[in-house]
Amino acid sequence: MTGQRLGAVADDFTGATDLAGNWASRGLRTSVLLGVPEDSSDLGGGDDDAVVVALKTRSAPPQEARDLSVRAGRFLLERGCVQLYDKYCSTFDSTPRGNIGPVADALLELTGADRAVVVPSFPDNGRTVYQGHLFVGGTLLHESPMKDHPLTPMRDSHVPRLLAAQTRHHVGLVTLDRVEGGPDVLRRALDDQARAGCRLVVVDAVRPRDLTTIAEATRSDRLVTGGSGLALGMPRRAGERRALRSVPGHRVILSGSASTATREQVRRAAGRVTSVRLDVEQLLARPSAYLAQLVDALSASWRAEPRRPALVYSVASTDDLRRTRHLGTDASRLVEDAHAQLAVALSDAGATEFLVAGGETSGAVMRALGVRRLAVGQALAPGVSWLGGTTAAGRHHNFVLKSGNFGSPDLFLTAWEALV
Ligand SMILES: Nc1ncnc2c1ncn2[C@@H]1O[C@H](COP(=O)(O)OP(=O)(O)O)[C@@H](O)[C@H]1O
Ligand SMILES: O=C(O)[C@@H](O)C(=O)COP(=O)(O)O
């Protein structure tokens, strides 16, 4: 890494690539490291301006989330990162146990920061915070589809209240009027909160320019926390964005995401590409034979049309989740494992370009493929980019790791056109 170094710890893989894409759009050469890095060789050439360490800690036990985040944060600080960015979901996906609070507490301790802002807002993707209440496309979080998320159902919209249940520290709030006063006014408001004993301070932001103000006010902070939106507030640098080349081979979409935007993307793509629904009943009954059958179906389709994308999805409508609800989180893990095993088998069968939908799903897939580092390429939508990486088997692949609610309705059909 050279110049002004930025480092982030992200709680899931799509979230990491979301932030990395936003930094890339500000002219920073950015990489994503998957899992806690072991040593500097994990940085590749080491000439990046910004590095995001992608963890899979959103739904992990809090102690594990804390430990991994501290190890990742320490790695970045030891390599000269001037500011640590604690990236969580713009819809504040968490439970009363965490992990946003426990991880923020641990990173406050690690960095020695006297306070850190809490900024889930990402207006380009419809996430705004006003008077501490988080809105998704104009709807309060607890009334949005996030109320039914299979792992982290969000039943409250008030960010200070959500966070207070998870952290050891007092949580403050700085409202929009202070943000609109500009960076100096905001910095004083943040310092006042710290003096009043609040080490985590939620900050309202409803427009992109509010994020610019927050980024300017926190430029010298050791730690910031938020969704990826805050990264868009930083000044643009001169660097050029990488353009990834298409990799000859087959194209596959693995969609384990239950989010509303993904369900529409699945619906649009289903009739237009080769598509199969992952049937949880069959998966339970005869896992190996069933997955082999899916790989055969996709391979047959590629023999006829090698570059036609093939889609495997596990949620087309909320009925699919209702059907498996009696299995609890076991169903989620089972489906994640299935997507992961499919990814490996399909890579063996000649797939080279993967679009994976859903954070947990992406984490499972990338771990199974054994990819350690991703270079950020061209942007597809706010928070969604092409990425290039090499699998444990030494194959170079292109990936999109799509956050559940991001991307246009036709993303599964159009993403491929962006590769040069
Ligand atoms: N049919 C299904 N039944 C139960 N769980 C499912 C089903 N399909 C997907 N899942 C699980 O739901 C979770 C979705 O989370 P994620 O991949 O982060 O995407 P998103 O947050 O966009 O919904 C994953 O753990 C996935 O395995
Ligand atoms: O901040 C966001 O909204 C995303 O980067 C994100 O983390 C979404 O998570 P998934 O919906 O689980 O992909």
339-391 pLDDT per residue, tens? 999 999 999 999 999 999 999 999 999 999 999 999 999 999 999 999 999 99
Nearest CA to ligand 1 atom 13: 332
Sort residue 179 into left (φ over 0), alpha (ψ -120 to 50) or beta: alpha
Task: Dump pLDDT digits (tens) for 278-300.
Answer: 999 999 999 999 999 999 999 99
Nearest CA to ligand 1 atom 11: 332
pLDDT at 1 exceeding the cut of 80? no
Return the pLDDT at 226: 98
Burial 38-72 (b: 16+ CB within 10 A, else e): eeeebbeeeebbbbbbbbbbbbbebeebbbbbbeb
pLDDT at 4 exceeding the cut of 70? no
Return the pLDDT at 48: 87
Return the pLDDT at 76: 96
Quick check: helix, strand or coil at residue 118?
A: strand
> Which ligand lies nearest the alpha carbon of 259?
1
pLDDT at 44 exceeding the cut of 80? no
Amino acid at 209: R
pLDDT at 305 exceeding the cut of 90? yes
Contact 135, 142 (CB under 8 A): no
pLDDT at 231 exceeding the cut of 50? yes
Question: Quick one: average pLDDT of 123-133?
Answer: 97
CB atoms under 10 Å from CB of 310, counted, come to 23
- Is the distance from the beta carbon of residue 226 to the nearest atom of ligand 2 less than 6 Å? no
Return the structure tokens found at 171: 């949580």
Determine the distance separating the centroid of ligand 1 and the alpha carbon of 259, expressed in angstroms: 8
pLDDT at 196 exceeding the cut of 60? yes
Measured CA to CA, the distance from residue 154 to residue 136 in angstroms comes to 12
pLDDT at 397 exceeding the cut of 60? yes
Contact 231, 19 (CB under 8 A): yes
Its pTM stands at 0.93
- Those residues whose C-beta lies under 8 Å from the C-beta of residue 122, and which sit 6 or more positions away, are 90, 227, 228, 229, 232, 382, 383
Give the phi and the psi of residue 206 in degrees, each rounded to 5. -120, -15
Q: Where are the beta strands (DSSP E) in 64-115?
A: 83-87
pLDDT at 9 exceeding the cut of 90? yes
pLDDT at 19 exceeding the cut of 50? yes
Measured CA to CA, the distance from residue 133 to residue 125 in angstroms comes to 16
CB atoms under 10 Å from CB of 181, counted, come to 13
- Whole-angstrom CA distances from 376 to 260, 387, 388 are 26, 5, 7
pLDDT at 43 exceeding the cut of 90? no
- DSSP letters along 151-200, please? SS-----BHHHHHHTT-SSEEEEE-HHHHHT-HHHHHHHHHHHHHTTEEE
Helix residue spans in 26-99 (DSSP H): 62-78
> Which ligand lies nearest the alpha carbon of 385?
2
For residue 2, name the pLDDT band (cuts at 50, 70, 90).
very low
- Whole-angstrom CA distances from 383 to 14, 47, 254, 376, 406 are 9, 23, 18, 12, 7
Ligand 1: residues whose CB is within 6 Å? 150-151, 256-259, 262, 280, 314-315, 320-321, 324, 331-332, 335-336, 358-361, 404
Nearest CA to ligand 1 atom 22: 404
Measured CA to CA, the distance from residue 26 to residue 76 in angstroms comes to 20
Determine the distance separating the centroid of ligand 2 and the alpha carbon of 183, expressed in angstroms: 28
Question: Which structural domains are found in the chain, ordered by start?
Answer: 6-233 (3.40.50.10840), 250-418 (3.40.980.20)
Higher pLDDT, 145 or 42: 145
Return the pLDDT at 5: 84
